[in-house]
Chains A and B, each alone.
Chain A
Amino acid sequence: MAIIIFLAFVGFVLGLSFYFGAKTKSASGYYAAGGNIHWGVNGIAFAGDYLSAASFLGICGMIATSGYDGFLYSIGYLAGWMVALFVVAEPMKRLGKYTFTDAVDAKFNSQGIKLMGAISTLIVSLCYLIPQMVGAGVLVEPLLGLPHAAGVIIVGAVVIIIVATAGMTSTTYVQFLKGGLLIVFSLIVTVALLVRGLSTKPDQGGKVPFYAYAELAATQMDGKVIPADPTWTVLETKAVKDQTFLKLAREGKPSWWLKSQKEGKVALKECQWESQSPGQPKLVNGEAGAKLRQVGNLVAINGDTSPEAKTGPVGPFGFLSKLGAKDTKIQQWKITKFKDASGAEVAVHHPYITTGNKILRPGAKFKIEGSFLERLDFVSLMLALFLGTAALPHILIRYYTVPSPAAARKSTIVAIAAIGFFYLLTLYMGLGAMVNNVINPLDNNMSAPLLAKSFGTFLFAVISAIAFATVLGTVAGLIVAASGAVAHDLMDRYAKIKMTEHQKVRAGRIAAFAVGIIAIILGILFKGQNVSFLVGLAFAVAASANLPAIVMLLFWKRTTSKGIAASITVGILSSLTLIALSPNIFKQFGLDPTKAPIPFDNPGIVSIPLSFLVLVVVSLLTKPNQMTLESET
């Protein structure tokens, strides 16, 4: 049933696309939906654009594993709309025609701005496309049983069809539909979660029996750990950093255990594990072809450690106060990888306990109590999230789809209401996944859909279909923005290639195809990264490359075209260089993260001020060439 609902939804989205595609004849229709979308529809479509895979999959996944630190993305993403509404929305609408480049070039007619604006749009769109494609791959794995790469290719192909046939009108209505459904069904999941309440033995409404991990008493003599139960034999002991793992066997079946020591007593905690010997099938918990069990549960609720402690239905505040209590304990999981004595690559997933008060405050992921650089990394992320929204090309182009600045403003308010409400729900869905035994230990991105699955297959299918449409819609919007940069900014305005309206639309569609292919390749390369983290990086690139140009153009009359072009160039180069040399990218590509030349992951704190500075210095060194627009007289 899940597959039928899923395919029906995707088919409907495609049908909608073809319907509007048949009506798209002009460049204005392709890039800006003819400028005639109602502000209410546009507002929800804004929300649909914005609530991408990062918001639904990434934030919920990060909250499910890192608690409040994931919610920081919700706060930062929403706060970014304040910059968009108060600073950028109406002036951008007055300045532009189809694209970001049009807007920043409106007072100059400069070749340098056209070129750099188009390149910036392309790069930011591609950076933002990567997490969406990763999200697509993650979605189809459990739903259709296809590998990650297949998911990425399917989304790429479907989106190329959507964009190549329709453009902005279809993406607007797809986003409207998807944005509305995402919020409604997220609310349904949240209400179901509160009605279910909290339990130390989450069994998914009785559908999946709770697996209680064993703990063995043990003794330690001369450094050797010996299980108290003599039916267990120790095959191997492996020390990794400050942890010790033991490979035990009973009745010939091996398993990995984590040594723990509390109040002088030694115990062994059962783990999950994967083992890969050369030329052998991969073993999961000792079986070939098996899957890791989903994880995450409460061990104590408000001090109640009884095996079947439960709250029954709870209110929204009660849910958070009970989860965030000092005497609430949550069992979480982390992974340690090493080679065992036989040379097999082993990944042990082992539990650890976190108290509720540490989950519902920042610090689990971001080291805000760490070194100066670690704190700076946190500030850098929050800065990029705050400033990035207003600089995203696929968000900016949506201002051109409404008839007036007032409509742009009203659209933004509808979007803020819808997005803000959804972000409040992310905290519940993420925490719900954390304690309902639904987290995939290998990839937290699927936490929200798997939480929905714990309430029934129908909800899972609908949520997955919406999430898939979320990816489709966002990718479509990004590809429209990127194809606009190539066909409109570069070919039409920069290279001045003479094209008819029909040829312009065709150029846009060919560009969409090329961008789509690149996005597919990148989506496969970045498998396994949290999508919200990747979007955070895209925000940093957007904020560094585009925001200084937009803000200074609007507020500093001395801004020159060369200043803007230089600022965009430096913003792109500095942010991308800092990201490429960061610990996280080193880790992604199998290098030692401690050897990364840049000690932090988020570049915004350096690249955004640098881009502003370059704009000011170059503008002061060059001749003023700003012209007054008719709308300003």
Chain B
Amino acid sequence: MFHEPAQQSGRDPASSYKSRIGNRMFLLYALIYAGFVAINITNPALMEAEALWGLNLAVVYGFFLIIFALVLAMVYSHMCGKKEAEMDAQGNREGK
């Protein structure tokens, strides 16, 4: 027999939605990350150029990658939570 998770999570009707937006957000972030790597190997001198508030592109892009990760994660969590609540409400109505 298959062993079960330490805590049962039960059926998750929102899982396909969460998986879909997760994949899209992953692709978006992967593209931006790839852009950072690409600039570094094709035109590293560009990283020295001043971008914002006296900071060069390397610092601004690096900070952006870190902060954008958090923003994207929060948007993802909000969308997942909203969908889970919708599905729960729908499930409750159908249950009645």
Contacts and interface: CB of A to CB of B under 8 A. Distances in A.
A198 to B, nearest CB: 14
Contacts of B84: 406
Given A82-B29, A361-B48, A406-B81, A324 B40 contact: no
A424 B66 contact: yes
A96 B4 CA distance: 7
A28 B29 CA distance: 35
A90 B55 contact: no
B5 A94 contact: yes
B8 to A, nearest CB: 9
Given A79-B33, A87-B22, A420-B67, A631 B54 contact: no
A86 B29 CA distance: 10
A82 B77 contact: no
A363 B44 contact: yes
Interface string B5-19: 111011110010011
A416 B58 contact: no
Contact of B9 (A31, A85, A382, A405): A405
B35 to A, nearest CB: 12
A630 B9 CA distance: 11
B56 A360 contact: yes
Nearest to B22: A86
A413 B12 contact: no
Contacts of B58: 68, 360-362
Given A97-B3, A417-B70, A324 B59 contact: yes
Contacts of A321: 53-55
A79 B74 contact: no
Nearest to B25: A86
A357 interface: yes
Interface string A399-422: 011111110011011001100100
A79 B69 contact: yes
Interface string A69-111: 0011011001101110111001101111110001000100100
Residue in B18, B30, B40, B72 whose Cβ sees the most chain A Cβ within 10 Å? B40
Contact of B73 (A317, A382, A416): A416
B37 interface: yes
A368 B40 contact: yes
Interface in A307-323: 317-318, 320-321
A34 B36 CA distance: 41
Contacts, number: 161
Contact of B69 (A35, A98, A416, A629): A416
Contacts of A263: none
A32 B47 CA distance: 44
Contact of A400 (B5, B30, B80): B5
A188 to B, nearest CB: 20
B46 to A, nearest CB: 9
Interface string A370-383: 00000100110010
A87 to B, nearest CB: 6
Contacts of A402: 7
B70 A420 contact: yes
A369 interface: yes
B14 to A, nearest CB: 9
A500 interface: no
A317 to B, nearest CB: 5
A56 to B, nearest CB: 16
Contacts of A85: 22, 73, 76
Nearest to B58: A361
Nearest to B67: A420
A201 B23 CA distance: 51
B12 A79 contact: no
Contacts of A243: none
Given A82-B73, A400-B7, A405-B9, 12 more contacts: A74-B62, A78-B69, A81-B73, A85-B76, A94-B9, A317-B53, A320-B54, A321-B53, A324-B55, A386-B33, A420-B70, A424-B63
Interface of A: 28, 31-32, 34-36, 68, 71-72, 74-75, 78-79, 81-83, 85-87, 90-91, 93-98, 102, 106, 109, 317-318, 320-321, 324, 357-358, 360-363, 368-369, 375, 378-379, 382, 386, 400-406, 409-410, 412-413, 416-417, 420, 423-424, 427, 627, 629-631, 633
A-B pairs with the 7 shortest C-beta distances?
A321-B54, A35-B7, A35-B6, A86-B26, A86-B22, A361-B47, A32-B6
